[in-house]
Structure formats: C-alpha cells, structure tokens
C-alpha cells in the first residue's frame, strides 16, 4: 500500500505529465472539432518542434528564441500542410483524411531521419530550469515545475484566444456548426486555416518544451499521438477545456498506477478510454455534435 | 527455382572455343553430369561430395555467394542498426578485397572472398519488427539462396531468426542479442551468438561494482517490461546479491513508455544507493536524462548493465561520466589487440566515426564464420557448423575467440567500463575507460544451467 | 439484371477469374521476384482484408483494431501447437479461428454501441489492450515480445498419400486455397440479402432499421465475420512463416490493413489484396534500389499520399467505376417485357399482408390505438396527452400549426422514439416497448418528410431492402442465396415500380434522380413491406401541383385495405383524402371529427385555418 507522501508525489507528477499532454492534445482537439480532421501527423509536428528547438539551441543560448522560432516554423508547416493538402480533403470521408495525414506523418519522420540521422540529439535544460525543488517529502525537477506554469500560461492564452476574441468565437461556432457559420457570411476556409495553424503551433511549442526532457529522435512523436487520442476521447472531441482536464486525468492515471502495478500503467489509460466510449462517448465536455 | 549457373557455363563453353564439337559436347556433358552428381549422389568427385541441404549448393555453385543482413534502418533502434550495417559492409569489403585484419588470420589471408567466391550482400530494413525481419530473412533464403544470414537488433528478432535458420538449414550469426534465452532455452544448432549474455555481463560486472562502489549497498532497478529486461534484471540481481547488495526496488516500465517520471519518482524515494537502468536505446537516453533531472544521478551511483552503442554520445560525458556498466566491445580495446586497431582505423576512415559494438559484433562473426568455412573446405552447413563447434581459436579483433559447442555462445572477453568525465576525455569519442577485460571462460554459465537443448543438425 | 442468381456465367465470372489468377500469378511472381513467397504474403493480407472490406467497405464500420483478432487467431493456434497441447494442425487452426470469433463477440458487443469515430476509437483501444495482454500478463503463453517460433504446417494423409504444407510452394497452395474459399464465401455474402442489408446500413442506418432489419444484429454479424477472416489470416501467417510475431497485435498492423484497403479500394473485396500487393512490392523494391537507401520509407509515404489524393476510390474502385460507365444497360422494352402487368395482379401483390395477432391478445376493432401519449424534451412538452383510436381501414389526417407536435407524434407511433408515458397498440398488440424494427415487422410503416433513401443504390435495390425486411424478418443470415432470389419479393418490387411509375428508372442510382421520382420512391419504400398501417409524414412536401396530383392518386390507389395516418400542410389534399381529421395544437388534441366538422369548428379556424370557411 503506497504511503501518503508517495501518493502525493505521484499526484503532483501526474499534473506535470498531464499538463504537457494537455498542450499537445488541445491542438489535436480543436483541429478535430473544427475541421473534423483527425490529424495523424500531429505527433510528427510535435517532433518537428523538438528538432526546431534543438537547431536553435545549438546555435543560440536563448530558450525564448527557441520557442519563438519553433512556433514560427510549425506555423509555416501548418500553413503549408493545410493549404497544400488538407483543404482538398474536407469533402472526403474521414478515413481518407486520417490516412493522408498518416502518410504525411511518415514523410515528416523519415525526412528528419534523413537530415539529422537516427541518433538522439542533445537538447540541454535552460539555465533557469536546472536544479531541484524540495517539496519536503519529495524532490522534483525544477524544469518540470516551470513547465506546469508555462503550459498553464499557454493554455490561458489559448483560452483567451478562443473565448474572448472574435476569431475565437467564430472558431467555437465552427466547431458546433460549420455550415451555419459559412451561411452567416464568415469565410470558413480561412477559419479552418487559422485553426490548423493554431493546432500545429500548439504541438510545436509542446515539442520545444519537451525536448530537454526526453530523447529527441525522429520517432518521438508516435507514442504521444496515441496518448493524445486517449486524452481527447476522455475530455471530449473538439473541446478545449476537455483537452486540459483530459490531459490531467491521463497524466494522473499514468502516474498513480505505477504505485500499484507499474506494468499496467499504459493499459489502464486504454481501459479508461474504452469505458468512456461505452458509457459516455462524448467525454466529459464534448457535445454530440457533428461527431 | 532459380537457374543454376552451371547451365549457363556449359552453354557458353560450347559456343566460344574452336575445338571439335564432339570434344566440346563430351566436355559439356561431363560438366553437367558432374554437376548433377554433385547435387544428388554421394559419389566422390573432386572436393565436394555433400548432399543438398538448405541453400547448399544452390547458393554456392555460382561465382559468388550471397549473405543477407537484416537490420533496423528505420524505427526506434535505427542508430544501432546503422552501426551494424556499416560493420557488415566493412566485413564484406575486407573478406572480398583483403585487409590488414584478414591478413593476420591464416585462413583468410587470400583476401578473395570465401573459398574463392566473392561475397554479394544486401541489407534489409527490419524496422525493429520481428515480423518484418522474418519476412526479409525468408526472402533472402528463398529468393537469393543466402548461404548465411546475420543481423537482428533485439532478442525477439534474433530468437525468431535463429529458429528460421534452423528450419531452413541456413546458418545465422546473431547480430545483437543480450537475452540469456538466445543460447539458453531457445538455442539452435544453426544459430551462433557472439554478444555476452546477460548472465555473462552480470557476472563480469558484479565484482567490479563490489570493488569500485562497495558491498552491501541497496539497489533500485528500472526494468523494461519484456523478456530481455527481465533476463538482465534476474542476472544482475543474482550476482549483485552475491556481493551483499540488497534489491530494494524493481520498477517495471511497460512497452511504449516515453516518460519515466513516475517510475523515477518511486526510485528516488526508494532509499537506494545505486540506480541500475536496464532500458536500451532511446529509452535509455530518455530515462537517464530524466533520472538526472530528478536528482537521482547526483545522489545515487549509476549502473547500466548493458550500455547501448551510442548512449554516451547521445547523453554527453557530463551525465555518463562515472557510470559503470558493460558493453560488448569498446574501441579502446585497440590498445590491447592490434587487429582491433586495424579495424577501427579502416572503419573510421570510411565512416568518420569510431565503430561501436553493433558494428564489431557483426564484423567479428563474419570473419569467424569465414574462417570456419575455409577450415571446413566447403559451404555445406553441417561441416561449417562442426568447424564452428570445434573449439578452434580464431585470432580476431577481440583477441582469441571460439564458440562453445554446447550452446554456441562465443567465448570472448567481456569489457567492464566506466564513463569518463569530460575533463578525462582525450578525444571527442573517448567516452569510456575499460576497468576490466574479463576473460570469457570466467563468466560463462555452466552448460547444464543454460537450459539449452541443441536440436539435430539435419532436423 | 433479372435473376442473376444460379449458374449464369456473369455471376461466377469473378470467381473464375480469381481461380485463373491464383493458378497463373504464382509463376509470374516466382519469375520476377525469385520466389512465390511475396504473393503468399499478399494473399494472407488479402484474407485479412476480405473480412475488413465486408466490415468497412460494405457496412461502413471503420475499425482500427482488427489486429486484435488477427493476433488472437494466430496465437491461439501457435500456442496449441508449439506447446504440444494438440497434434492435429487442422484442429488447432479451427480452434484459433473460433477463438478470434468468440473474442469478437465480446468486443463487438461493447464497441458497436457507438458509430463513426467513436467506434473507431473503441476498436483502437481494444487493439492496444490486446497488444498489452499479449506482451505482458499472457507472456508465458504468447512468448511476450519474442512471439512463438516453430509453428508447424498442416498435412493431409489419405491412405498412403501424405502431403505436408511446409515450404514455399506448398505454403502458397495452402494459403491460396484458403483465400479462394474465403473469396467465394465473401462473394456469397455480398450477393446475398445480408450483403444488401449491410450496404443499406452503410448508406442509411436509420431507414434500414425502420424497414424491419435488426441493424445492431447485422452489425455484430459482420463484425464477427470480419474477425473470422482476420483470425484465419493470423493462423495462416504463423503457419506460413513458422513464427507467430507479436506485432500482429500492434496498431501498425491494424493501420496497415486500413491503408492497404484504401489504396486498393474499399468495397471491392479484392481492394485490400491489390493494396497489399502495391504496398508490399513497393516496400521490397524501394529497399533494393541502392540509390534510395534509407529514404525508402519516405518515398513510400509520398507514393501513398499521392495515391490517396488522386485515386479516392482506390485502384480497384477506380477501375470498377470506369467499367460501369461503359456497361450496357437493359432497354426499357426489355424491362417491361419481363414483368407481369395488369392492375388486378398488381393490386393483389401490393395488398397489405395479414397481420400476426399476438397469442392471447383480444382481436381489436382498432387498427392503431394511442392512449394518452406524452413526450417532453427538457421543459418543452411536445406531445401532451394525445389519444387516438383508428378503425381498421380508415383514412385519418392529423393537422395543426408548426410545433403542434405532429411529426413527433408520428415518430412515437412508429417507435422511432420512446414516449415518456402512454400506450400504443397495433391491432390489439401492445407495441409501446417495441423498437422501430419490430413495429415494421408488425405491419407499421412510415414514409418520411425528408427523403430517407439509399442514395447509392438503384431504385430497384431500394425497394428490395424494404420488401426483404418483412419477408425475411429482423435477422436472417441467409448467406448462400442471392438477394434477388425471392420470386415473391421480386414480383412485389415489379408491381410497385409499375404503380409508382418508376419502371424506366428502376436501375438508375437514386442520387441521379430528380426530386419527384425520389419522393415517389420514398412512398414506395414504406409500401414495400405491404403494411397494414401506413403513416405518411408530409408526402406532398416540395412537389409541384402536377406532381401532387400524381401522388394523391397513388395514395388513393394504395389505401385499399389499409389504415392510413396522414400528416400534411396541404389542406386541399387533406380535405380531399381524409375521412377523419385530428387537429393538434401545442401538443394537445384541439378537435377531432369529419372534414366538414373540422372545417366549421371555430377553435380550429382560430388556431390554424385562419377564420375562412373551407369547402
């Protein structure tokens, strides 16, 4: 039976883990909700962000610059992807959209492997992120604590964008009923482009943030993609608050399960995903709208 | 199936010379008859009088022979796979064209291939998936009549390919596999393994740990939850407990774990003195990075029982400095073995980095196999296997090595290394110091304990 | 095509072509690729894909977890054989396939409650759970990440003749044999009424249920069928390469199946096989071109993206489409000549079927009775205590302003939704708790306000779905007969086509028809079951005055012997056709009586008719 300090430390870890998942998943969720496209290249975009961060940090010492350039690069990638490929697929059945993004994901991963090689790239912790925080009964890396704060700020920004600006209003209406939005005179295609870019940027920023924490290899996005699906299902397809809450929940499951039987941590999230789909498919915050 | 070269030879012979047609026809018939006899009967002819078995003699009756390598060129283990591929290609080059290494081995001095036949080779991408590896290997056997197969990055792939080799009667030189089962309960007559098993590595490592780190320490493990991981954990536990260590934690991380924070948190809270990490490849890099960030590496000693080929390069000497562990080979062995020096120089000239143990394991097995074929005087698998099992010691880049007949485990030195800190490094790739080069005989598991029951050679 | 069942060459052409291909192609593969193995692997994916195409291509259920059944079949068989529990390889194979089927019943029962992307996600989750089970808790049986090597091949021993299926060519023979049988079986399914229902489910599941087919049961049936094919594929994989790999369970495997199906063309049965051929040969070939080297996967991804973009129906699908453009069509004369004519015969064919009265239920004078029906949505009471009693054979209209609850009431009657309270009796049988499919089986049919047709089927095929529902019952797995092999049903369809005036466009696809024809077909679908009670929800909506006359005449012709409930806004039509009229207002009955009574009712005039006296 785990002790209280053990439990609390894992609970905290779950929030740290979950906040990162929330950031990646929120991008996937708004793309899914607005465009109806399940973007299988999302994991690859996360990976591109990490590599962008690596390239910037190997020449300059500024983490802020890495974030900015990473976001910019993914903005461009998202723009090119949506204009060059995705927009031809809006009238195609969902499986076609899934598959073309899947193929795109493969291309991105292999291109990166070709350019950078298969070895893991080293991305150092920023100087303000090194060190350990002493919480009394457990120690925790400073950078991860900062990541929680940073992701919270980003998600807040996202929230403001979605709920307090005109374009955000249009996006949220588009999630509910894109046809109506189009009939009301809004250039829906432009909105789709904006959403796709926003979602890609979210994934890219998450990649830069995550790069110092893991091995930066071409395949790094794959396992995150599937975990994102779980988050999005639990939180609700197309729901931004759902992605946040879903991310935290998945993070907690992954962390707390290890106290009891570590081997079952991954299986546990799939079991919960199945349960949600059977009992309440729209998830916690989703609407049974067009999906 | 595929056309045999002997048909071609007899046809062109008839057209090209100016001798009487009758003589030519007789000669042609004679060659064809001899060819038929070679394949089907046991009548003694010049050198070869062996029956057909596996890809013999279909794969060897031409001017060249084919060797297939199955390695992961994409997927999470592709860094090791690339290293293996380059070692493979260097071995083919050295065998076909001669080199300082092959010059030093009496049977391979000729430098014109094996038994006078040049090696044609191909590498197929296994994508780190056992199914894809088997498909590629089967293709090499059926389509190319491969006379030998090598490669395989994980124990799963290696064990499956060994079984395939046994079934198809094609010799398979295991690429990378650390599991005890490969020469244990899953041993095969047609499979040969060079890499030290988890048992051997643990037995070599434990005394060094006792000496350098201390006895009666508390140990916590991070173990990937599959057979290979369990294998290494079981062996390390056995031998460290013999030197008084106490195992206070085993964190099993399931397949696909990308974030080890929850396991590392438990390890950090375990009160252990030593952290032993069984993860491999990219997982090792991630878990080590994260362990450092959790402060584990600064408050506990760090041991990696089986260090991945590029772990130090990917993590950096500031993290890996002071880490104890074993590797199948490290290039500074060139100081002890002149052949290794030649190998490292030739490899580095071609590929601009010092070879790792992915390359060396493939390379050494290619040469040992070629030596066995030369000694047997034939490619006939039964004779080659007997030659490999004979216990004949081959001078190699690892020193003198041979295979133990009972389980086909190569008896070779096991390097125990410690990571160098940045200020100790004398060059950009000088990551490790070899603490002890333990002779293979000292760490072999007793044959009866391996669980290996060698199948029949013709089975 | 009239009566294309039986031994006509056209029906069996695909099977014969397949047989020829299986006899000839292996030699081509042997010559060009050095051995037949590649073709054998393609066929194993082909078997896996036959089942998936029935599930996805035909029924529209996209599953990302078929690997779970592929792996289950393969591992159960491999375990039984490698652990020496069983000696007989054929028996082990059968058990493996059965295990996959049993597993699919459990998964299907849970997963099929959802549709669309939710269904895809559940199957993905189950696939991943199976992978985890194989790798960890069940590793002692499955070999964990090592898989199970050493799976033996089956052999046949008859007297002194013994043949073992191990090896390259014999392995091909075994797999090709299974593939051919599987292909024939799949073709039977596709041509059978079951296949017709599955296609209908993909295009309009709600209407399919309303036409008397148990959609849930059919979905489960095709899910289990797909799992059987998958299990068979897995079993053959393990035997063919003498090794059962753990990645059979991986998401990659399920994903590769979907990729191959889309490349080849979903809904064509051989699409997945062709897709596998393209994917596997490209993968092998690209790796052998040394100039490409490590970029082979990038190029594969690029080719894949291009294929999906420019061939949306897949390779086979595109070929089929081109072919059907150039196929000759039966002439009008030929169609007319083939069908019985005469109004009398038609009348007999289209008369309502006798109703099955429940055992012990008292025969009722009322065809349809609704007692105190209530239905609320949130705070809005759509239907607030409406009672209705319809005599057998009467023509009853329900009118009222928008929002009065007419359409809701009709939906409740047809059992598309459950009322909050109240009872509904059909010929004395209490159907309050029955579902929409059961209501249809009892003889209650509805024609919809917005056309609910099967857009990619022909008119004839549309009507067949309706007629088969009543004829075959909720669920019948009559796989081995053709969909058009019920003579009685075909006669009814012919009569209906005549009655509806749709004979000339009988073999045109619905989505090419103009609105008027579609509306008549909508009516026809309701009539196809020869119902005794017919609910018509605004049948004249959207029609021109001339078309209205036609439909009104149709309704007059077909009401003989039937009880009809008509909801309409066209007051002229209502007063012309109805014998009794009920007026609803804000969910409650405002007035009821003969047309003349209603026309002069002051309350009605105030609420709805606008005050002027009606003729």
**Does B78 contact A266 at a Cβ distance shorter than 8 Å?**
no
Average pLDDT over residues B26-47: 43
Q: Do A226 and C295 touch (CB under 8 A)?
A: no
Average pLDDT of chain B is 87
CB contact, 8 Å: A264 with chain B? yes
Encode pLDDT of A229-239 as tens digits.
Answer: 999 999 988 88
Confidence of residue B262 (pLDDT cuts 50, 70, 90): confident
Per-residue HEC secondary structure of A189-247 comes to HHHHHHHHHHHHHHHHHHHHHHHHHCCECHHHHHHHHHHHHHHHHHHCCCCHHHHHHHH
Instruction: Name which of C114, C121, C298 is nearest A273 (Cβ-Cβ).
Output: C121
- Residue C5 scores a pLDDT above 60: no
How much is the pLDDT for B378?
Answer: 92
Region of poorest pLDDT, from A102-106, A260-264, B362-366 = A260-264
Q: Are strands C580-585 and B148-151 parallel, antiparallel or unpaired?
A: unpaired
CB contact at 8 A, B259 and B284: no
By C-alpha distance, which of A177, A143, A183 is closest to A33? A177
Q: Tell me how close the Cα of B44 comes to any Cα of chain C, in angstroms.
A: 30
**B293: nearest CB among A10, A143, A259:** A143
CB-CB neighbours of C416 under 10 Å? 16
pLDDT of residue B207: 95
For residue C395, give both structure tokens: 């023509």
CB contact under 8 A, C312 and A96: yes
Q: Among B76, B250, B262, B319, pick the best mutation site for testing chain A contact (most A Cβ within 10 A).
A: B262
Q: In chain A, positions 104-123, which contact chain B (CB-CB < 8 Å)?
A: 110, 113, 117-122
Q: Contact A277/C62, CB-based, under 8 Å?
A: no
DSSP B3: P
List all residues of chain C from 293 to 332 with a beta carbon under 8 Å from chain A. 294-295, 297-298, 300-302, 304-305, 308-309, 312
| A184 three-class SS | coil
- Tokens encoding C426: 């059909």
| Closest residue in A to C64 (Cα–Cα) | A95
- Per-residue confidence at A131, pLDDT binned at 50, 70, 90? confident
pLDDT at C438 over 80: yes
Strands A132-134 and A139-141: antiparallel
Name which CATH class applies to A4-279: mainly alpha
Chains that touch C (3 or more CB pairs under 8 A): A, B
List of E strands, C308-451:
366-377, 380-391, 395-399, 421-426, 429-430, 444-447
B135 lies within 8 A of chain C by CB: yes
Q: How far apart are CA A104 and CA A221, in angstroms?
A: 13
Inter-chain CB proximity A107 and C129 less than 8 Å: no
Confidence (pLDDT) at C339: 52
- The structure tokens listed for C65 are 């977890």
- Which of 1.25.40, 1.10.3470, 1.10.10, 2.60.40 would CATH assign to domain C36-325? 1.10.3470
| C301·A110 Cβ contact <8 A | yes
Which of A118, A135, A266 to substitute to test the interface with B, most B CBs within 10 Å? A118
Burial of B4 by CB count in 10 Å (0-12 exposed, 13-18 middle, 19+ buried)? Answer: middle
Residue B420 tokens, joined: 């160098």
Range among B241-245, B262-266, C311-315 rated most confident: B241-245
Q: Which residues pair with C395 in a beta bridge?
A: C564
Contact B315, B285 (CB under 8 A): yes
Q: Per-residue pLDDT tens for B143-170?
A: 899 999 999 888 888 888 998 899 889 9
What is the sign of the dihedral through the CA atoms of C120, C126, C132 and C138? Answer: negative
Residue B272 has which token pair? 């252990």
Residues of C with CB below 8 A from A273's CB? 121, 125
Coil, strand or helix at C279: helix
Interface with chain A: mutation pick from B126, B226, B269, highest number of A CBs within 10 Å: B269
Instruction: Report residue B40's pLDDT band, with 50, 70 and 90 as the boundaries.
Output: very low
Answer yes or no: do A99 and C295 touch at CB < 8 A. Answer: no
**Contact residues of B toward A, CB < 8 A:** 74-76, 78-79, 81-82, 225, 251-259, 261-263, 265-266, 268-269, 282-283, 285-286, 289-290, 293-295, 310, 313-316
- DSSP reduced 3-state for A185: coil
CB of A31 less than 8 A from some CB of C: no
Is A270's CB within 8 Å of C110's CB? no
pLDDT of residue B43: 36
Q: Which residue of C has its CA nearest to A107?
A: C298
Answer whether C426's CB lies under 8 Å from C368's CB. yes
Judging contacts by C-beta atoms under 8 Å, the chain A residues touching residue B81 are 118
B2 to chain C, any CB pair closer than 8 A? The answer is yes
Determine whether the interchain pair B143/C296 forms a contact, defined as Cβ–Cβ distance below 8 Å.
no
> What is the CA A51 to chain-centroid distance, rounded?
16
- pLDDT above 50 (res C6): no
Q: How far is CA A200 from the centre of its chain?
A: 9
Question: Given an 8 Å threshold on Cβ–Cβ distance, is C117 in contact with A104?
Answer: no
Q: What share of chain A is helix, strand, coil (3-state, %, to 5)?
A: 75, 5, 20
Top residue of A33, A41, A103 to mutate, by most chain C CBs within 10 Å, is A103
pLDDT at position C333 over 80: no
Task: Choose between C1 and C492: higher pLDDT.
Answer: C492
Mutate: best of B130, B152, B153, B179, partner C, most C CBs <10 A: B130
Residues of C in contact with B138 (CB under 8 A): 37, 241
Q: pTM surpassing 0.90? A: no
Chain C residue with minimum CA distance to B82: C294
Confidence of residue C604 (pLDDT cuts 50, 70, 90): confident
Helices (H) and strands (E) in chain A, counts: 11, 2
Which residue on chain C is closest to A89 by alpha carbon? C309
Residues 79 through 118 of chain C touching chain A, CB cutoff 8 Å? 110, 113-114, 116-118
pLDDT at position A191, please?
81
Q: What is the mean pLDDT of residues A255-283?
A: 87
CATH number of C366-609: 3.40.50.300
Inter-chain residue contact C34 with B228, CB threshold 8 Å? no
Q: Are strands C580-585 and C395-399 parallel, antiparallel or unpaired?
A: parallel
**Pick from B28, B2, B6, B7: nearest CA to B17:** B28
In chain B, residues with a C-beta closer than 8 Å to the C-beta of C132 are 254-255
Instruction: Say if residue C331's pLDDT is above 60.
Output: no
Q: Do B251 and A258 touch (CB under 8 A)?
A: yes
- Give the distance from CA C140 to its chain's centroid: 41
CB–CB contact C145 B73 (8 Å): no
CA-wise closest residue to B70 among B193, B182, B174, B194: B174
Out of A119, A223, A263, the one facing B258 most closely (by C-beta) is: A223
Rounded Cα distance, B205 and B436, in Å: 9
Instruction: Walk me through the domains of chain B, giving residue ranges and CATH numbers.
Output: 5-40 (no CATH), 64-196+332-409 (3.40.50.2300), 199-327 (3.40.50.2300)
Tell me the C-alpha distance between B59 and B56, whole Å. 6
Q: Which residues of B touch A258 (CB under 8 A)?
A: 251, 262-263, 266
Gap from A131 CA to chain C (nearest CA, Å): 36
Contact status of A160 with chain C (Cβ, < 8 Å): no
Q: Where exactly are the structural domains of chain C?
A: 36-325, 366-609
Per-residue confidence at C609, pLDDT binned at 50, 70, 90? low
Give how far A107 is from chain C: nearest CA, Å: 5
* pLDDT tens by residue, A105-126: 999 999 999 999 888 898 988 8
Of A117, A138, A214, the CB nearest to B258: A214
Q: Which chains touch B (3 or more CB pairs under 8 A)?
A: A, C
pLDDT, residue A205, reads: 93
Q: Which residue has the higher pLDDT, C336 or C354?
A: C354
The answer for A 37-96 residues in CB contact with B (under 8 A) is none
Does residue C20 sit at the A interface (CB-CB below 8 Å)?
A: no
**Chain B positions in Cβ-Cβ contact with residue C37 (cut-off 8 Å):** 138-139, 142-143
ipTM: 0.88
pLDDT at C359: 45
């Amino acid at each position: 039976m785990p002790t209280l300090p053990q439990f609390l430390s894992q609970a905290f870890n779950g929030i740290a883990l979950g906040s990162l998942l929330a950031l990646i998943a929120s991008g996937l969720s708004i793309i899914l909700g607005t465009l109806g496209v399940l973007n299988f290249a999302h994991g690859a975009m996360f990976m591109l962000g990490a590599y962008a961060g690596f390239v910037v940090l190997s020449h300059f010492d500024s983490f802020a610059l890495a974030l900015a350039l990473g976001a910019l690069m993914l903005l461009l990638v998202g723009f090119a992807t949506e204009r060059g490929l995705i927009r031809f697929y809006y009238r195609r059945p969902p499986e076609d959209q899934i598959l073309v993004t899947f193929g795109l994901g493969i291309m991105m991963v292999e291109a990166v492997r070709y350019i950078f090689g298969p070895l893991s790239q080293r991305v150092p912790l920023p100087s303000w992120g090194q060190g350990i925080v002493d919480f009394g009964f457990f120690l925790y890396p400073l950078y991860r604590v900062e990541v929680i704060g940073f992701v919270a700020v980003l998600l807040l920004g996202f929230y403001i964008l979605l709920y307090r600006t005109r374009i955000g209003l249009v996006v949220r209406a588009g999630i509910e009923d894109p046809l109506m939005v189009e009939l009301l005179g809004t250039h829906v295609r432009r909105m789709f482009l904006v959403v796709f870019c926003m979602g890609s940027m979210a994934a890219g920023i998450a990649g830069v943030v995550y790069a110092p924490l893991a091995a930066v290899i071409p395949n790094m996005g794959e396992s995150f993609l599937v975990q994102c699906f779980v988050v999005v299902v639990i939180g609700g397809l197309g729901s931004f608050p759902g992605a946040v809450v879903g991310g935290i929940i998945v993070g907690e499951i992954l962390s707390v399960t290890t106290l009891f039987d570590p081997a079952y941590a991954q299986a546990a999230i799939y079991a919960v995903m199945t349960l949600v789909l059977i009992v309440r498919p729209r998830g916690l915050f989703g609407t049974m709208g067009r999906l | 199936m595929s056309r045999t070269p002997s048909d071609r030879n007899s046809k062109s012979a008839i057209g090209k010379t100016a001798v009487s047609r009758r003589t030519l026809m007789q000669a042609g018939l004679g060659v064809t008859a001899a060819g038929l006899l070679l394949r089907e009967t046991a009548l003694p002819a010049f050198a070869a009088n062996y029956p057909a078995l596996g890809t013999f003699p279909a794969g060897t009756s031409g001017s060249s022979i084919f060797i297939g390598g199955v390695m992961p060129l994409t997927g999470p283990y592709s860094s090791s796979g690339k290293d293996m591929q380059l070692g493979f290609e260097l071995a083919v080059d050295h065998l076909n064209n001669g080199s300082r290494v092959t010059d030093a081995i009496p049977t391979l001095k000729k430098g014109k291939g094996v038994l006078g036949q040049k090696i044609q080779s191909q590498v197929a991408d296994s994508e780190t998936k056992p199914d894809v590896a088997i498909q590629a290997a089967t293709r090499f056997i059926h389509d190319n009549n491969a006379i030998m197969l090598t490669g395989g990055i994980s124990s799963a792939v290696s064990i499956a390919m060994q079984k395939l080799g046994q079934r198809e009667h094609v010799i398979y030189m295991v690429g990378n596999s650390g599991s005890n089962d490969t020469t244990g309960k899953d041993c095969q007559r047609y499979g040969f393994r060079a890499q030290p098993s988890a048992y051997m590595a643990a037995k070599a490592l434990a005394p060094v740990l006792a000496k350098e780190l201390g006895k009666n320490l508390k140990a916590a493990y991070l173990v990937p939850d599959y057979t290979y991981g369990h294998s290494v954990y079981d062996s390390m536990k056995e031998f460290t407990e013999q030197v008084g260590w106490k195992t206070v934690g085993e964190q099993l991380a399931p397949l696909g774990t990308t974030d080890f924070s929850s396991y590392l948190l438990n390890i950090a809270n375990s009160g252990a003195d030593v952290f032993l990490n069984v993860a491999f490849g990219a997982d090792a890099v991630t878990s080590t990075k994260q362990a450092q960030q959790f402060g584990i590496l600064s408050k506990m000693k760090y041991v990696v029982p089986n260090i991945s080929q590029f772990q130090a390069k990917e993590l950096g000497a500031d993290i890996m400095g002071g880490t104890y562990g074993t590797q199948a080979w490290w290039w500074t062995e060139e100081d002890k073995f002149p052949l290794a020096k030649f190998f490292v120089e030739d490899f580095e000239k071609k590929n601009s980095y010092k070879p790792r143990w992915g390359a060396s394991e493939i390379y050494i097995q290619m040469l040992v196999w070629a030596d066995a074929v030369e000694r047997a005087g034939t490619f006939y698998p039964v004779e080659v296997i007997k030659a490999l099992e004979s216990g004949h010691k081959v001078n190699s880049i690892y020193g003198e090595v041979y295979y133990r007949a009972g389980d086909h485990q190569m008896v070779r030195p096991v390097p125990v290394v410690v990571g160098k800190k940045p200020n100790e490094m004398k060059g950009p790739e000088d990551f490790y110091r070899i603490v002890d080069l333990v002779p293979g005989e000292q760490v072999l598991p007793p044959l009866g304990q391996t669980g290996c029951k060698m199948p029949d050679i013709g089975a | 095509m009239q009566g294309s069942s039986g031994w006509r060459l056209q029906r069996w052409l695909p099977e014969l072509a397949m047989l020829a291909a299986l006899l000839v192609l292996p030699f081509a593969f042997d010559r060009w690729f050095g051995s037949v193995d590649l073709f054998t692997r393609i066929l194993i994916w082909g078997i896996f894909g036959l089942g998936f195409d029935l599930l996805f291509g035909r029924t529209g259920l996209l599953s990302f977890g078929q690997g779970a059944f592929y792996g289950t079949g393969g591992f159960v068989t491999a375990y039984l054989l490698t652990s020496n529990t069983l000696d007989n390889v054929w028996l082990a194979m059968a058990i493996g396939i059965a295990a996959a089927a049993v597993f699919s019943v459990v998964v299907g029962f849970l997963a099929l409650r959802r549709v669309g992307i939710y269904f895809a996600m559940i199957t993905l989750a189950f696939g991943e759970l199976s992978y985890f089970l194989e790798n960890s808790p069940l590793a002692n049986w499955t070999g964990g990440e090592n898989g199970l090597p050493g799976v033996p091949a089956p052999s046949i021993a008859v007297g002194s003749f013994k043949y073992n299926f191990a090896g390259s060519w014999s392995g091909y023979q075994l797999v090709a044999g299974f593939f051919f049988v599987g292909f024939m079986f799949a073709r039977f399914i596709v041509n059978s009424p079951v296949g017709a229902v599955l296609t209908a489910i993909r295009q309009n599941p709600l209407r399919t249920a309303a036409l008397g087919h148990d959609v849930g049961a059919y979905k489960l049936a095709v899910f289990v069928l797909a799992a059987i094919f998958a299990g068979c594929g897995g079993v053959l994989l393990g035997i063919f390469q003498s090794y059962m790999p753990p990645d059979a369970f991986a998401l990659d495997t399920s994903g590769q199946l979907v990729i191959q199906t889309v490349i080849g063309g979903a809904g064509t049965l051989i699409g997945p096989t062709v897709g596998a051929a393209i994917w596997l040969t490209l993968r092998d070939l690209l790796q052998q071109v040394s100039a490409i080297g490590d970029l082979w996967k990038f190029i594969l991804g690029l080719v894949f993206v291009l294929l999906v973009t420019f061939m949306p129906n897949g390779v086979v699908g595109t070929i089929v489409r081109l072919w059907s453009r150039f196929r000759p069509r039966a002439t009008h004369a030929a169609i007319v000549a083939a069908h019985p004519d005469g109004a009398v015969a038609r009348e007999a064919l289209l008369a309502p079927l006798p109703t099955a009265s429940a055992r012990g239920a008292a025969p009722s004078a009322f065809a349809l009775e609704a007692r105190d029906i209530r239905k609320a949505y949130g705070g809005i009471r759509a239907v607030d205590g409406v009672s209705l009693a319809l005599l057998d054979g009467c023509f009853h209209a329900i009118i009222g302003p928008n929002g009065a609850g007419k359409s809701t009431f009709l939906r409740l009657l047809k059992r598309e939704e459950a009322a909050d309270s109240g009872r509904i009796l059909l010929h004395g049988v209490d159907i309050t708790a029955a579902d929409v499919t059961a209501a249809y089986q009892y003889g209650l049919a509805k024609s919809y306000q917005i056309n609910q047709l099967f857009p990619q089927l022909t008119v004839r095929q549309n009507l067949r779905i309706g007629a088969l529902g009543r004829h075959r019952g909720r669920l019948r797995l009559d796989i081995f007969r053709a969909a058009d092999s019920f003579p009685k049903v075909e006669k009814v369809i012919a009569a209906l086509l005549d009655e509806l005036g749709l004979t000339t466009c009988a073999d045109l696809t619905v989505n090419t028809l103009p609105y008027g024809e579609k509306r008549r077909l909508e009516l026809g679908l309701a009539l196809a079951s020869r119902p005794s009670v017919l609910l018509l929800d605004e049948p004249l909506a959207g029609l021109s005055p001339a078309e209205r006359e036609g439909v009104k005449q149709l309704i007059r012709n077909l009401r003989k012997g039937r009880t009809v409930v008509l909801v309409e806004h066209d007051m002229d039509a209502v007063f012309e056709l109805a014998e009794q009229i009920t007026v609803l207002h804000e969910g409650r009955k405002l007035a009821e009586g003969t047309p003349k009574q209603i026309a002069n009712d002051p309350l009605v005039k105030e609420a709805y008719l606008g005050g002027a006296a009606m003729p």
